[in-house]
Amino acid sequence: MSKLYAVIGLAYLFPAAYVGAADADGGFGPEPMQPTLYELRWDNGTLGYVRTHFLGGRWVANDFDASTLTATRVRCLRFYSSDNWPNGTWDGCHIAVYRLSGGLPGRLLWGPEFARGTGAGFQWCSFDVGWALPKGVLTFVAAVEQPYGYPNCDPYCLDTSPATGRAWTYYQGIWEQMETYTNLMLRVVMEGDIGVEPTSIGRVKALYY
């Protein structure tokens, strides 16, 4: 396995399967279920630009497609930001998940929930979601709101790679594609379950430990 990722469309999916079978080597009971995690992203991981909105109440978002995954649970939303600009503190944001229908963001599915970063400097802030997509809903939009105006806000960040056209903005009830030549650094971690046969636990542990 020279590559630990698969490509769906233009989005990178990084499988991060975790098998925590501490006592499974000698097990002969029902097939255990272990979590499998996939990180969906459009950015390349390299910070290129830092931005805020002058007015609060604006959202930035990425659309994602989970139709080829077995995972349908949104475990967490990850957002690249910083406390040290523009005002030297974490002000917090709102996170939410919207439906994507006909290529356009639509009805609110989950949230909004208030979240605040921790630590110092530019970093990935992971915010728990722990919510499963409704049956039949496999495309969605993950969004972050800047609730306060500049400078009392946390910035959003863009990468250094060519834009994929998956970034959106939302303000006063209107969704629009974000005008940018790069990608929004906002990711989603999806979680599903995989069945692991007791006889193969040793092999799986060898792969991931």
The average confidence (pLDDT) of the chain is 81
Q: 68-104, pLDDT tens digit by residue?
A: 888 899 999 999 999 999 999 999 999 999 999 889 9
Does residue 47 form part of some domain? yes
Q: 17-64, pLDDT tens digit by residue?
A: 322 233 333 334 445 556 789 999 999 999 999 999 999 999 999 999
Is the torsion defined by CA of 38, 43, 44, 45 positive or negative? negative
Which region among 76-80, 99-103, 154-158, 191-195 has the lowest average model confidence (pLDDT)? 191-195
Domain range for residue 184? 6-21+32-208
Which residues, other chains included, contact 178 with Cβ-Cβ below 8 Å and sequence gap of 6+? 60, 167, 168, 169, 184
Residue 139 pLDDT greater than 60, yes or no: yes
Which region among 104-108, 197-201, 202-206 has the lowest average model confidence (pLDDT)? 202-206
DSSP-derived secondary structure letter, 184? B
pLDDT score recorded for residue 34: 61
Does residue 43 form part of some domain? yes
Does residue 13 form part of some domain? yes
pLDDT score recorded for residue 36: 85
What CATH number is attached to the domain comprising 159?
2.60.120
Q: State the pairing for strand pair 93-101/49-51.
A: unpaired
pLDDT score recorded for residue 200: 38
Does residue 44 form part of some domain? yes
Does residue 1 form part of some domain? no
Which residues, other chains included, contact 31 with Cβ-Cβ below 8 Å and sequence gap of 6+? 195, 196, 197, 198
Q: What gap in Å lies between CA 126 and CA 74, rounded to an integer?
A: 12
Asked if 106 contacts 60 with a C-beta cutoff of 8 angstroms, the reply is: no
Strand segments, DSSP code E, in 66-201 are 73-81, 93-101, 104-115, 123-132, 139-146, 156-158, 167-171, 174-177, 186-195
- What pTM value is reported for the model? 0.77
- What is the number of structural domains in the chain? 1
Question: What is the three-class DSSP state of 209?
Answer: coil
Does residue 27 form part of some domain? no
Better pLDDT: 8 or 53 = 53
pLDDT score recorded for residue 33: 54
